[in-house]
Chain A
Amino acid sequence: DAGVTQSPTHLIKTRGQHVTLRCSPISGHKSVSWYQQVLGQGPQFIFQYYEKEERGRGNFPDRFSARQFPNYSSELNVNALLLGDSALYLCASSLDRGSTDTQYFGPGTRLTVL
């Protein structure tokens, strides 16, 4: 069975641009979460979507938005990119949205903002 997939693998953008990152969850998983991981730090929670609705949001500005599609795949959008947005963006899927549900992470998208 395929795990969580993310695209693209790497991305280079300049300040002020916008970016769209994509995630396909494990088949049967209805919950998708997004995390930002800066080098040397643990992942930081951005969003959780479950059954196509936003169920949780971390401490990130409104430049960050996301959505989940009927097939449970998800997009993360970041507008007006800043240098500080350079990070590894991780998507995780889980069967449900409970606090003890195991989250399965994708390989991430490495975003570099110049």
Chain B
Amino acid sequence: EVQLVESGGGLVQPGRSLRLSCAASGFTFDDYAMHWVRQAPGKGLEWVSGISWNSGSIGYADSVKGRFTISRDNAKNSLYLQMNSLRAEDTALYYCAKATRTQIAAPIDYWGQGTLVTVSS
């Protein structure tokens, strides 16, 4: 059974940093691209970033480019999101998500339960 468990969320002041983690199990992690998708309270889904199976292809939404960095450790079956210079508009539930193939353009088929990030002074 595919399991994606996010951690690292919390309350943080504007301008500060936070690092999210996603522990994956139930599938061969390094066979698939991975994504971070967020959902602000009461709003829709917004793609944040994606990374291919070997980290060779990485993409970011314009809203986070230059501030967020996605990475993965295939030996640890883990996905990460380093978030710097956080803003109030980054407040959201952040989902870790698995793609169906190695490349980031492949559809997402599994989602974690999310970790909540609140940016507020």
Task: Report if A and B associate in a common complex.
Answer: no
B residues apposed to A, CB below 8 Å: none
A residues apposed to B, CB below 8 Å: none
